Structure 1
Amino acid sequence: MLKKLCLSLFLSIGLGYPSEAQFVKEYKIDGRTDVDLVQLEFTSYKSTTQLKRIKSQDLLYIHGHLAKSNILPDFKYSFQKNSVKASLIHKNIESDNLGKTITSKLFFSESDFEHSWDLGLVSNYLYDLDFNLGMGKADFDLSQLPISNFKVKSASADVTIRYGSESPNQVQMDTLLVTLNMGSVELQNANFTNSKKIILEVNYGNIDLNFSEGMPAGCQVIAAVGGGTIFLKLPPETNPVKIKMKTTPMCRTSLPKYLKALDRETFVTKGYNSSDPRLLELVLDVGVGSVTVE
């Protein structure tokens, strides 16, 4: 009997049988003609999160698969003049610390993230989005979505921001902000954000920042890594770009030959003009690691 019990436990662990059942939670806010702006605060932990445009009459739709052993999310919303303010809070019941975060990042797989969230937005409302993710993985497809602000904070996560259908932001974004304690940030077609400011900060990890073309308007970018790497893909050299490097002797740098040095820290493209309203200004800051610019 003992041998059978041990064998059963071994098979359950080895084959990855789920030890806890999952259940579904859905939230939505019906569309209204008197609403222009949707403000969303989204907080979760140990989760995979996906966001994309959907075709719907709702101004916000959220679908979650959750582990029953954890506390339930708290979803609220209220209408204020021509806007709606919504929040979904699913807080971690465990204490987070740097040691646990690093251990989790090294030894946990995507299947260990206990929850998954799918968020659907529509094209006919302006969105102000604020995400606070404990640990996990996030994929944000911002195609065909008017977004005024986009912020992501996380203890440990891999975050991808992209434009799957290559449809840029139709409004000017004020700020795109991603701050991670540990993990990676990948921002594809960064010019599609149409953002005034882009701030990417990672204590330990990597930043992959890609500009397929120049910005439609001036933009200030800060990409900072304490320990790790930054990879920057510049737009064509005819676009006005200025780069300031803030590195240490423990950081290796690689720059394309066509960049012109204004001083030991500052480099510009052939299309640089300090008064150009489309000027892309970047600050690249790495303590220990490498910076590669192409």
Structure 2
Amino acid sequence: MLRRVCLIIWAIVAFNTNIIAQINKEFKVEKTEDFSQVKLNFSSYKGISHIGRDHSGLPIFIEASLAKVNILPSFQYSVRNNILSATLDHRNVESESLGKSITSRLFPSSNDDFDHDWKVGLNTNFLYDLNLNFGIGRADIDLSNINVTKCKIKTATADVVLKYSKSIPNPISMDTMSVSVNMGNVEANGLNFSNAKQMIFDVNYGNVNLIFSGDMSQATHVRASVGAGSVNITLPDTDTPYIVKVQSTAMCRTSIPHYLKSIGNKTYISKGYSAGAGNLMTIEIDVSVGSVALK
């Protein structure tokens, strides 16, 4: 009897502890001043993050579901020269050890391992300059129906999934799209919708998978570099003007489709290549150890 009572008490304590550990927070900006541009700095040391269009009408609306919290996120914003600058920073007081970080990266069991869930909502009526930093976990970023002038993504050991799910082009010219990952994978789909002048994908350890499903609207320079891992690129139709330059070592396998013409020095051009094309795409690939596959 005593044992049963103890088990019931333990279950109640464990249940209440779990409830206490789960905290839901909202961070938002009401448009009370005149501005059309938004500069967002978002930083989370751990979690699953979802960034995309929000229908609240607010320039920024962030929802957080936090577990095992040792410090709450700090959020602040100001308006100056018609630009809204907002910063959300979630730091870890009990810093992750290097060994634990690598173990989480190599042997993940479920999304629950990352403790926190973030939803970052953006609005179609503003221009965004995004600076996104992630520690451990995963970032799902859908830029459909969002006006992005610049997008910088940096992670420690988090995977990045970047897409344009609605297949709607960015209505404005993006200066730079940059993704930098220490250990993890990058999946990017529909990059032709980004309308970016420059795209940079830099991974120390991991894989870069890029998909171009159509023509670019302007000349674009794409650079993909991996220290150890692979670069896999699905190219647009061969009538699209593009040139591919590969830099690799003897420890890197390379697969080039037959329809690309080699012009020497590991450089290949499409059937529609023209040096003066207004929408020429220049792709530079650099892999030290691993593989390169174009298709």
Q: Alpha-carbon deviation of 1:104?
A: 1.7
- Give the Cα–Cα distance (whole angstroms) in 1 for the partners of residues 6 and 246 of structure 2: 61
Q: Are positions 1:220 and 2:221 aligned together?
A: yes
Following superposition, which runs of at least 4 residues in structure 1 exceed 4 angstroms of deviation? 1-6, 17-20
* Secondary structure in structure 2 of the residue aligned to 1:45: strand
Partner of 1:57: 57
Q: Deviations over 1:121-152 (max 9, x none)?
A: 11010000101111111101110000001111
Q: How many residues align?
A: 290
Partner of 2:70: 70
Partner of 1:285: 286
> In 2 relative to 1, CA 5–104 (structure 1 residues): closer, same or farther, beyond 3 Å?
farther
- Give the Cα–Cα distance (whole angstroms) in 2 for the partners of residues 77 and 196 of structure 1: 29
Q: Alpha-carbon deviation of 1:56?
A: 2.3
Partner of 2:103: 103
Determine if contact 2:48/2:114 at 8 Å carries over to the other structure.
yes
Instruction: Identify which range, 20-29 or 91-100, moves more after superposition.
Output: 91-100
One-letter code aligned to 1:175? T
Partner of 2:48: 48
- Give the Cα–Cα distance (whole angstroms) in 2 for the partners of residues 41 and 129 of structure 1: 6
Structure 2: give runs of 5+ residues left out of the alignment: none
* Secondary structure in structure 2 of the residue aligned to 1:262: strand
Q: Alpha-carbon deviation of 1:18?
A: 4.9
- TM-score with structure 2 setting the length: 0.92
Partner of 1:160: 161
Q: Alpha-carbon deviation of 1:19?
A: 8.5
Partner of 2:172: 171
Q: Are positions 1:115 and 2:97 aligned together?
A: no
Determine if contact 2:229/2:287 at 8 Å carries over to the other structure.
yes
* Secondary structure in structure 2 of the residue aligned to 1:95: coil
> In 2 relative to 1, CA 2–23 (structure 1 residues): closer, same or farther, beyond 3 Å?
same
> In 2 relative to 1, CA 3–246 (structure 1 residues): closer, same or farther, beyond 3 Å?
farther
- Give the Cα–Cα distance (whole angstroms) in 1 for the partners of residues 94 and 205 of structure 2: 22
Partner of 1:83: 83
Determine if contact 2:68/2:115 at 8 Å carries over to the other structure.
no
Partner of 2:35: 35
Partner of 1:25: 25
Identity of aligned residues (%): 42
Q: Deviations over 1:185-204 (max 9, x none)?
A: 11100000000110001111
Structure 1: give runs of 5+ residues left out of the alignment: none
Q: Alpha-carbon deviation of 1:2?
A: 8.2
1:132-147 alignment to 2 at 5 Å? 132-147=133-148
Determine if contact 2:263/2:269 at 8 Å carries over to the other structure.
yes
- TM-score with structure 1 setting the length: 0.92
